[in-house]
Chain A
Amino acid sequence: MDTCKNNCSPVRELKEMNIVIVGHVDHGKSTVIGRLLADTGSLPDGKLEMVRELCRRTSKPFEYAFLLDALKDERAQGITIDTARSFFKTEKRKYIIIDAPGHIEFLKNMITGASRADAALLVIDAHEGIQENSRRHGYMLSMLGIKQVAVLINKLDLIAEGDREGIYDNIVNEYGAFLQQIELKPTCFIPVSAAEGYNIADKTGYMDWYTGPTVLDALDRFTEVLPPDDLPFRMWVQDTYKFTAQNDERRIIAGTVSSGKLHVGDEIMFLPSGKKTFVKSIEGFNEEPKNTVSAGYATGFCMTEQIYAKRGELITIIGQDSPLTGSKIKASVFWLGKEPLLPDKNYKIKIGSAQVGCRLTSVIGVLNAATLEGVEQTFVERHEVARCVFRLDRPLAFDVAGQFEETVRFVIVDGYEIAGGGIITDMADDTELNKKLIRRDIKWIKSSITAEEREKYYNQKAQLIVLTGKTQTDKKSIARNLEKALLKSGKIAYYLGIGNLLYGVDADIKSEDSLNTPEERHEHIRRLGEVANLMLDAGNILIVTASELGSGELDTLRQIITTDNVLTVWVGPAVNRIRDFDLSLDDGEMDVAAELFRIINPPPACAGFPL
């Protein structure tokens, strides 16, 4: 046998590869691993004997699968409940085999295991044939982005010798067609018997008709994942450090490079804030100074200017392809939560280090991951996959599915639990506008005063307050009263009605009908957003009034302005789309200006409404 038990030098030069093994419950995954460990001589001395002894004591027939069942719980149930890791090596490389459970109840564990893998073995019982989870697991591998899969058609020892080839061919045809539908190309289909050791390490089992690789060969033929060094640079701000101990003066942006390379001297931009600076130094501890850092490295750098960058911003290099920024995304999602994914419920989305509140806006289509049948639903049940649109509470930077991984993949948190995962397939925001905004931010001429310094001088944070409501509701008096109250309390505030723009900045497009035709109305809103953005950049508290602003228009405003400090208010009796606003205040029941003043400028900073 071709094993590598001892003296297999030089061991350290061997690469390591994570392999996940998946398939329907009882199709023999654990037995395949047990056999791989035994046939490569990878079991610690005494382990096999220990398990045989345990089986003797519990009066159970010995199975290779028991080698893996280190937990008592698991033995009691006879199924793998969690991902367990086993280690072995061939002459080519070291393998970590991640055993993923086949039972539907444990799909989240299967995903946990599979997401750590570079390649997969998918086991199908020849006797039982393709089952629900054979398909579902195939689908999940494809969603998780695992591109190398070898399919093992197992338990051929239970099939009469003369029937083996036919059964093998049927499964290859049927399952191959399924994989093709989900765009997963298997590297091979191997007829095996894990219990008897056919085609695991050696070609045995009287199957001369099969000329392909054994399982060990198939593993060695998998290729290593190439680093995404050639892609545009992406790194999420994981944290910013300013440790004062031992007089450390450095302010370090820390994160792990997702793709591309960063060099000292590169001009970088943080998105979605649009802040720009240069890389001054790449930092490290107990290592040679570096000028370059590439994908996969957990690193940190100092900047030429002390700009304030927040966790969750995406760092890019100016001049390379930009990601998108927006607050509406289209995505493919798989759902694991005990409760279904519901519209209008508050969730949290985590993409890279960014984390923001989100809501399911609409379900484009739900797919049964096992049958690939479409279902029409407004929600997504546990273990279903779906195409959905989400609205984020504030804009984020991201890429769309294709080349990138870490800037495309996200999870959804329901309460305290990760309840689903997804891949961004498109942005549902205005992409044309997005391009304009990215160009604007790159070309932006900065003053020598940073936003933070300006905040200090003015003793206030720039903020946008948008008042909207029915045409007949008097928003203007509220805005004027609020402006006055803010000025009296020492703030720098300005009231900007949309009318101030329509006949000036907008004179070239303003017509009798222009607020009622969608395209022209959109341009009015865009210009309002850009003017507001200038005044916010100048450090103002800006109050804007406009009638009947819809949620899409509020999204556009949020997309255009670079601060997150936005308060949207519906004034007047509540309407049914009230969820689109941060606040709903009825001017018939309260002094809206006083209430807003209290919210913006809470005590004890100012005790009363100074009118």
Chain B
Amino acid sequence: MIDNMTHLENLENTSIHILREAYNRFGNLCMLWSIGKDSTVMLSLARKAFFGHVPFPLVHIDTHYKIPEMIVYRDNLAREWQLDMVYGENSAALKDKLTFPDGNTTRIECCKNLKTEALRNTLSGEWPRYRMDHSTRTYKVDKNTEPYTGVIVGIRADEEGSRSKERYFSPRDKNNDWDVGDQPPEFWGQYKTDFKPGTHIRIHPLLDWTELDVWEYIRQENVPVVPLYFNQGDGKRYRSLGCWPCTNPVDSDARNFDEIIEELKTGKFANIAERSGRAQDKEDGGGLEELRKDGYM
């Protein structure tokens, strides 16, 4: 930490450096945009890093169980910021109703189908990708099926155990697997940017950020976030966004940035895990690492 910079400046500048490094080192780079606050902060950081541009596609995995406001917000922001917007999905599982809301799988299996599998096959280009056509404002099947070799992901080390062990540049093998026991060394701002054909690298610019940092940055930069994060008058808000069958809002009166930050710092959430509203975590022994080893974000 450099002493003359504020905490947020330190975080911001490190993240920008990482984003620029990723952009330079990877020919086929994309950024995963979950529509949540973290990856939206990452998107804002990219606009700073590239002086108002976002020079790579934003990839969203659409489970078709996302809270509807999330998709509306995604497409609006994509148009406003002229983003190269791409989404992927597991159409087979959706068609065969191999999901938890259909009553045919556990929550974890549903995550594996709709998120992990969809992600793997979207990144590799084996399943169709749908790209926004800004002239018609609709999505069309993307002709580019090249696998992405660099994938920028907005995970944070403070979220839960397994994420705290990640690298900024983290290799994934052919099967998207993460070898937790044998990770590359990472020091002096030098990252793993060389990789075998068939493998890819996940890049984590927000690794050092906390939930509070994210909200303080959102306030400082006025980052547009989904209104679901705020109490709309019913005394509830979402603290973490996901699919509606597995994500519950928390009781909260916070209506704006200041109130959320106050609530996180001193209020009832100061010592409660952020993902406490996510039902699938509990099935996975609280570690998420079973899901993450297979490529979950």
A residues at B contact (CB < 8 Å): 5-7, 9, 11-12, 15-18, 43-45, 50, 70-73, 81-87, 96, 108-109, 111-112, 114-116, 118, 144, 224-227, 229, 238-239, 241, 243, 245-246, 248, 250, 252, 254, 256, 283-287, 294-298, 300, 311, 336, 348, 350, 353, 405-406, 409-411, 413, 415-418, 421
B164 x A85 contact (CB < 8 A): yes
The distance from the CB of A293 to the nearest CB of chain B, in whole angstroms, is 10
User: Given the complex of chains A and B, what is the CA–CA distance between A355 and B209 in angstroms?
Assistant: 29
**B101 located at the interface, meaning its Cβ lies under 8 Å from any Cβ of chain A in the complex:** no
Which residues of B does A touch, CB under 8 Å?
1-5, 7, 9-10, 12-14, 16-17, 20-21, 23-24, 47-53, 55, 82, 157-158, 160-162, 164-165, 167, 180-181, 183-190, 192, 194-196, 208, 210, 216, 221, 265-266, 270-273, 285-287, 289
Knowing A70-B161, A238-B17 touch, does A226 contact B53 (C-beta < 8 A)?
no
Partner of B185, one of A109, A287, A297, A415: A109
Q: Smallest CB–CB gap between A564 and chain B, Å?
A: 19
Contact B272 A227, beta carbon cutoff 8 Å: no
- CB-defined contacts of A43 to chain B, threshold 8 Å: 271
Chain B residue numbers with a CB within 8 Å of A109 are 183, 185
CA distance A287 to B8 in the complex (A): 14
Contact B50 A298 (CB under 8 A): no
Q: Cβ of B5: which chain A residues have Cβ within 8 Å of it?
A: 227, 296-297
Tell whether, in the assembled complex, residue A9 and residue B266 are in contact, meaning their CB atoms are under 8 Å apart.
Answer: yes
| Nearest 4 interchain pairs by C-beta | A70-B161, A115-B187, A108-B185, A298-B16
- B residues near A15, Cβ cutoff 8 Å: 1, 3, 7
Expressed in whole angstroms, the Cα–Cα distance for A238 and B16 within the complex equals 11
Could you tell me the distance in whole angstroms from the C-beta of B190 to the nearest C-beta in chain A?
4
A16 touches B7 (CB 8 A): yes
Question: A73 to B290, alpha carbons, bound, how many Å?
Answer: 11
Known: A109-B185, A227-B2, A238-B24. A7 touches B272 (CB 8 A): no
Shortest C-beta distance, A110 to chain B (Å), equals: 9
Contact of B47 among A16, A81, A86, A285 (CB under 8 A): A285
Contacts of A294 in B (CB 8 A): 4
The answer to whether A416 and B187 touch (CB under 8 A), given A239-B20, A284-B48, is: no
Knowing A16-B7, A73-B181, A87-B158, the reply to whether A44 touches B273 (Cβ < 8 A) is yes
Closest to A226 in B: B3
- Complex Cα–Cα for A84 and B162 (A): 9
Task: Kindly count the residue-residue contacts between A and B in the assembled complex, taking CB atoms under 8 Å apart.
Answer: 182
- On whether A111 and B165 interact (CB within 8 A), knowing A9-B266, A72-B289, A248-B52, the answer reads no
A73 contact from B180, B184, B273, Cβ within 8 A = B180
Question: Which chain A residues border B7 with CB–CB below 8 Å?
Answer: 12, 15-16
Q: State whether A44 and B188 are in contact (beta carbons under 8 Å apart), knowing that A118-B1, A245-B53, A285-B47 are contacts in the complex.
A: no
In the complex, residue of chain A having the shortest beta-carbon distance to the beta carbon of B20: A238
Q: How far is the CB of A442 from chain B (nearest CB, A)?
A: 29
Contacts of A16 in B (CB 8 A): 1, 7, 10
Q: Contacts A15-B7, A82-B180: A415 and B47 contacting too (C-beta < 8 A)?
A: no
With CB as the reference atom, state the residue of chain A lying closest to B207. A85
- Nearest CB to that of A415 among chain B residues? B194
Complex Cα gap A342–B82 (Å)? 50
Instruction: Determine which of A254, A295, A296, A416 lies in contact with B20 in the assembled complex, contact meaning CB atoms within 8 Å.
Output: A254
Q: Shortest beta-carbon distance, A258 to chain B, in Å?
A: 9
- 12 sampled A-B residue pairs with Cβ under 8 A: A70-B289, A71-B180, A72-B285, A144-B188, A243-B50, A243-B52, A283-B51, A286-B47, A286-B221, A296-B13, A297-B13, A406-B189
Give chain A nearest CB distance to B184 CB in angstroms. Answer: 6
Nearest B-chain residue to A243, judged by Cβ: B53
Find out whether the CB atom of B287 lies under 8 angstroms from the CB atom of A71: yes
On whether the beta carbons of A311 and B271 are closer than 8 Å, the reply is no
Residues of A close to B286: CB separation below 8 A: 50
Chain B residue nearest to A77 in the complex (CB): B181
Report yes or no: A413 in contact with B21, Cβ–Cβ below 8 A.
Answer: no
Q: What is the bound-complex CA distance between A248 and B180, given in angstroms?
A: 42
On chain B, the residues within 8 Å of A225 by CB distance are 1-3
Selected contact of B192 from candidates A238, A285, A418, CB within 8 Å: A418
**Contact across chains for A71 and B187 when beta carbons are under 8 A apart:** no
Distance of A335 Cα from B182 Cα, bound (Å):
16
Q: Which of B53, B165, B196, B287 contacts A416 (CB 8 A)?
A: B196
A224 and B1 form a contact (CB under 8 A): yes
Taken together as a complex, chains A and B put the C-alpha atoms of A359 and B189 apart, in Å, by: 22
CB neighbours (8 Å) of A295 from chain B are: 2
Q: How far is the CA of A249 from the CA of B189 in the complex (A)?
A: 31
With A112-B167, A239-B24: A336-B3 Cβ-Cβ less than 8 Å: no
Q: With A84-B164, A227-B3 known to touch, is A248 a contact of B272 (CB < 8 Å)? A: no
| Chain B residue contacts of A250, Cβ below 8 A | 51
Please, which residues of chain A bring their CB within 8 A of the CB of B192? 416-418
Contact call A411/B187, Cβ cutoff below 8 A? yes
Please determine whether A111 and B187 come into contact, CB atoms closer than 8 angstroms.
yes
Query: Which residues of chain A are within 8 angstroms of B2 by Cβ–Cβ distance?
Result: 225, 227, 295-296
Contacts of B4 in A (CB 8 A): 227, 229, 294, 296
Most buried by B among A7, A50, A109, A229: A109
Q: Is the CB of B51 within 8 A of A300?
A: yes
The CA-CA distance from A285 to B47 in the complex, in Å, is: 7
- B158, A108: Cβ atoms closer than 8 Å: no
Which residues from A are CB-within-8-Å of B16?
256, 298
**B23 engages A239 (CB within 8 Å):** yes
For residue B14, which residues in chain A have a CB less than 8 angstroms away from its CB?
A: 298
Cβ–Cβ < 8 Å partners of B285 in chain A:
72
Please name all residues of chain A whose beta carbon is closer than 8 Å to the beta carbon of B165 when the two chains form the complex. 71, 82-84
Give B222's nearest chain A residue, CB to CB: A286
Instruction: Write out the residue numbers on chain B whose beta carbons fall within 8 Å of the beta carbon of A229.
Output: 4
* Complex Cα–Cα for A414 and B255 (A): 53
Known: A245-B53, A246-B52. 17 other contacts (CB 8 A): A5-B271, A12-B7, A16-B10, A45-B272, A70-B161, A71-B161, A82-B165, A112-B167, A112-B186, A144-B187, A227-B5, A243-B51, A246-B53, A286-B48, A298-B20, A348-B194, A418-B190
A297 to B208 alpha-carbon distance, docked (Å): 17
Nearest CB of chain A from residue B279's CB, rounded to whole Å:
17
B210 and A87 within 8 A (CB): yes
